[in-house]
Structure 1
Amino acid sequence: MKIVALGLRGIPDVMGGVETHCEQLYPRMRRLAPDIDITVLARKPYVSDDRDAFDGVTIRPIPAITHPYFEAILHTFLGLIHARFTERADVVHIHAVGPGLLIPVAKLLGLSVVFTHHGEDYRRDKWNGVAKAALRFGERMAARFSNRMISVSRPVAKSIVERYPDLAGRIRVIPNGAALEAEAGTNAAEAASVLAELGLTPGRYVMTVARLVPEKGIHDLVEAASGLPEGMKLVVVGGAQHGGAYAEGLLAKASDRIVFAGAMPRGRIAPLYRNTALFVLPSYHEGLPIVALEALAMGARVLLSDIDANRDLKLDAANYFPVGDIEALRRKLADPASIPMADTEFVLARYDWDVIARETLDLFRSLGKVDGSFRPARLVSADDRSG
């Protein structure tokens, strides 16, 4: 079986939840099934031409424009033509509801389609009304025409079932995983180097990892940072894909106590997780937040907004604050040590990428058994695996 992946910018070390998902998933699928060929059709602005493989996965950069509205859809269209006539794919794995718009084209080209729903992107403030309508239609096309559908989030799957009750049997919940390896960030010299570059002291900073876009709520965190204890800093890891006024406004607030570190490779973020006093994710919108899973896996204290996707992690009530409530967030930041520690071993077991890869591989293999139509699948999530 030859699988071609579309809908992501590229791998490895490309900023974004979908990209992290693919970087962790596909190499594991290849190790489990060496007979399966997996090719990622990356976007050239994000992956250099000399990158042709990553951990057993073929990387094929193809042309793409850098544009907030047309980048993903145009790259997906070109990618489908490439997958059909150059790669000779058996299956395309399409990620996110925007690229989902073109699933009917994939079917017309004779390709089987597995679609992964990473979140209700049409709820993001950055999109105008036309874009939101197009994204909703992309979700509908994915639900109607894909051969298999995966949701990384149980709340998202339930939302889809509520809106499209006839599609209830077509959705399989396979979550994101805790992406960083257990030993990541443990090298003392490397950790000291990363912290020194940013002017940080272990245990004397609060951090977040996110793109600089409104739905991540970084503006709330920056405003609430005034509540941090004396001498404690806020570190924001992540950049802005297309720049813009929002990101520029945030970056203008950099100071001795508010550090914008920019995008960083995951290997260099690990020491920050391990040495932070608190990880905060103030998002207004998520699918299933990989960065929160990473922080939990590294043993960090975690504070999350109380949106459904974050509450699906089932942490203690004290690990949440009302989304958008800056005063509540400021009160939490005043005493980071009061935020409960989560059970790291439980997180690693519940969101195990090896188990996730095996479940995803089983879903792909089932395509050969059902002749292009859905086999009804129950809603399965990490809850079922953990008993």
Structure 2
Amino acid sequence: MLQRTNVSSSDPAGSPIICVTGLRGFPHVMGGIESHCEELLPRIKALWPAHRSVVLGRAPYLPEPVGEHRGVEIVGIPCPRSKNLEAVVSTFLAVLDAKKRGAGLVHIHAIGPALLAPLARLLGLKVVVTHHGTDYHRAKWGLLARSALRAGEWLALNFADRVIAVSPSLAAQLKQSFPERAHTVTYIPNGTSDLPGDADPALVLERLGLDDGDFLLAVARLVPEKGLHDLIHAYEQSNCTAKLVIAGSADHESEYARDLLARASDRVIFAGVQSRATLRCLYERCAMFVMPSYHEGLPIAALEAASCGARMLLSDIPANLDIGLDPQNYFPVGDVAALTERLNADSADFQVDADSVRARFSWDKAAEDTLDVYRAALAPRRVPPRPSNTPGTFVEG
């Protein structure tokens, strides 16, 4: 249960405008960062109702240029719909917009958009960056993009007032790589979601041609690092009689996505982007949820599936291991033979303790911890005394 925090006019944080960027927007926009912000920001607004929370998203993904969701303002920033340009262009314009609005703090999500952290600091804004994962390991990026993402990570760690890491392994890696900035890094995990329950399960299953408890489920964008090609290959080699349902789509047109969609059949169903209420129906009724990813931050889809009581099989990458399931719930990433063997097993072998997962990953707790980070970033920083020949101390705003 959320507990409201009393933030008085004497609080060092005051009641500023906080602008959030780096995401496409929400609600009803596909993506892990988008789901993260949709869960987190309204909770922070409820804890601290006096502040203005403004999401500066990407106009091509939003139905209206200006909107509102659960107390959070949503503003579309014009930008090209381009895999290589949209994040940087939209964040650049968002930082300028945040300054124009008189924001006290800008919260940048992901290390690509964090390339603009120095600009935000130069404009006098406090900066928080949430590091959602080492995106330079994603298969879709070339050498130039990977170099830019590594630069974004470096700039985030060196210019942001505070950095949030969504998984313990990522937080440990950042503290080891940037020891002089370790004190700015805070681990705040994603949470499990109470997905809406207003979809009719019978209609959902009928629409997709499924039987209750007789389908495997993957929820992911159609990009190489999600490992869906491995899953389809293993499924086609297995003796599994349940259908395979893949919910999600590609952000941008790609040969990889076209090749995946070409493998659709009466047994391999590409369901496209589904509402959160529909996903709840699928999580609760699948024989097993499978995530064969090569790269994740802390996967929200897996946390959602676990909170709905789905049986689960995940690749053994660090971010998935951070969820803390039993060893039988993991298989070696990229090992199609091992995945095939697991798909031939009884899905009952992959049950998880939903209560345990929900207890360890809470959006309410994440909101409280993120508010603490905001208040620490907004507080005046006291600088050490000047040398004795220039006496006095000063406070940097």
CA shift for structure 1 position 230: 5.2
2:154 pairs, out of 129, 140, 153, with 140
CA distance in 1, matches of 2:382, 2:60: 34
1:119 pairs, out of 123, 133, 136, with 133
Unaligned runs of 5+ in 1: 374-387
- Partner of residue 265, structure 2: 255
- Partner of residue 35, structure 2: 20
**Matching of residue 89 in structure 1 with residue 117 in structure 2:** no
Cα-to-partner distance string for 1:257-282 (whole Å, 9 max, x where unaligned)? 00000111212111000000000000
CA distance in 1, matches of 2:349, 2:80: 43
**Matching of residue 165 in structure 1 with residue 176 in structure 2:** no
Distance change in 2, residues 1:35/1:239 (3 Å): same
Query: Which amino acid counterpart does residue 24 of structure 1 have in structure 2?
Result: E
Query: Which amino acid counterpart does residue 203 of structure 2 have in structure 1?
Result: S
- Partner of residue 155, structure 1: 169
Distance change in 2, residues 1:372/1:99 (3 Å): farther
Q: How does 1:61-80 map to 2 (within 5 A)?
A: 61-80=76-95
CA distance in 1, matches of 2:369, 2:28: 24
2:52 pairs, out of 37, 45, 61, with 37
**Matching of residue 290 in structure 1 with residue 300 in structure 2:** yes
8 Å contact from structure 1 (residues 104, 145) kept in 2: yes
8 Å contact from structure 1 (residues 118, 151) kept in 2: yes
Distance change in 2, residues 1:313/1:21 (3 Å): same
- Partner of residue 178, structure 1: 192
Distance change in 2, residues 1:91/1:372 (3 Å): farther
**Matching of residue 242 in structure 1 with residue 252 in structure 2:** yes
Query: Which amino acid counterpart does residue 179 of structure 1 have in structure 2?
Result: S
Paired-residue identity, %? 47
CA shift for structure 1 position 335: 2.3
Distance change in 2, residues 1:157/1:254 (3 Å): same
Query: Which amino acid counterpart does residue 269 of structure 1 have in structure 2?
Result: L
1:329 pairs, out of 302, 323, 339, with 339
8 Å contact from structure 2 (residues 40, 367) kept in 1: yes
CA shift for structure 1 position 50: 5.6
CA shift for structure 1 position 337: 2.1
SS in 2 for 1:45: helix
8 Å contact from structure 1 (residues 302, 339) kept in 2: no
CA distance in 2, matches of 1:230, 1:24: 35
Cα-to-partner distance string for 1:295-340 (whole Å, 9 max, x where unaligned)? 0000000100000111111111000000000011011111242433
1:318 pairs, out of 299, 322, 328, with 328
8 Å contact from structure 1 (residues 227, 334) kept in 2: no
CA distance in 1, matches of 2:345, 2:42: 40
SS in 2 for 1:300: coil
Unaligned runs of 5+ in 2: 1-15, 384-397
- Partner of residue 61, structure 2: 46
CA RMSD, Structure 1 to Structure 2 (Å)? 1.4
Cα-to-partner distance string for 1:203-227 (whole Å, 9 max, x where unaligned)? 1000000000000000000111125
Query: Which amino acid counterpart does residue 132 of structure 2 have in structure 1?
Result: H
2:287 pairs, out of 277, 282, 287, with 277
Query: Which amino acid counterpart does residue 316 of structure 1 have in structure 2?
Result: D
**Matching of residue 105 in structure 1 with residue 103 in structure 2:** no
1:300 pairs, out of 285, 296, 310, with 310
8 Å contact from structure 1 (residues 20, 179) kept in 2: no
8 Å contact from structure 1 (residues 117, 149) kept in 2: yes
8 Å contact from structure 2 (residues 128, 377) kept in 1: no
CA shift for structure 1 position 368: 3.3
- Partner of residue 375, structure 2: 365
8 Å contact from structure 2 (residues 240, 344) kept in 1: no
8 Å contact from structure 1 (residues 101, 142) kept in 2: yes
**Matching of residue 346 in structure 1 with residue 356 in structure 2:** yes
CA distance in 2, matches of 1:64, 1:37: 24
**Matching of residue 264 in structure 1 with residue 274 in structure 2:** yes
CA distance in 1, matches of 2:34, 2:368: 19
Cα-to-partner distance string for 1:197-254 (whole Å, 9 max, x where unaligned)? 1100011000000000000000000111125545410000000010210000000000
CA distance in 2, matches of 1:165, 1:293: 30
2:233 pairs, out of 214, 217, 223, with 223
CA shift for structure 1 position 131: 0.8
Query: Which amino acid counterpart does residue 206 of structure 1 have in structure 2?
Result: L
SS in 1 for 2:342: helix
TM-score by length of 2: 0.90
CA distance in 1, matches of 2:264, 2:202: 22
8 Å contact from structure 1 (residues 48, 61) kept in 2: no
* Count of paired positions: 368
8 Å contact from structure 1 (residues 235, 260) kept in 2: yes
Cα-to-partner distance string for 1:40-60 (whole Å, 9 max, x where unaligned)? 011111102265100110001
Query: Which amino acid counterpart does residue 151 of structure 1 have in structure 2?
Result: A
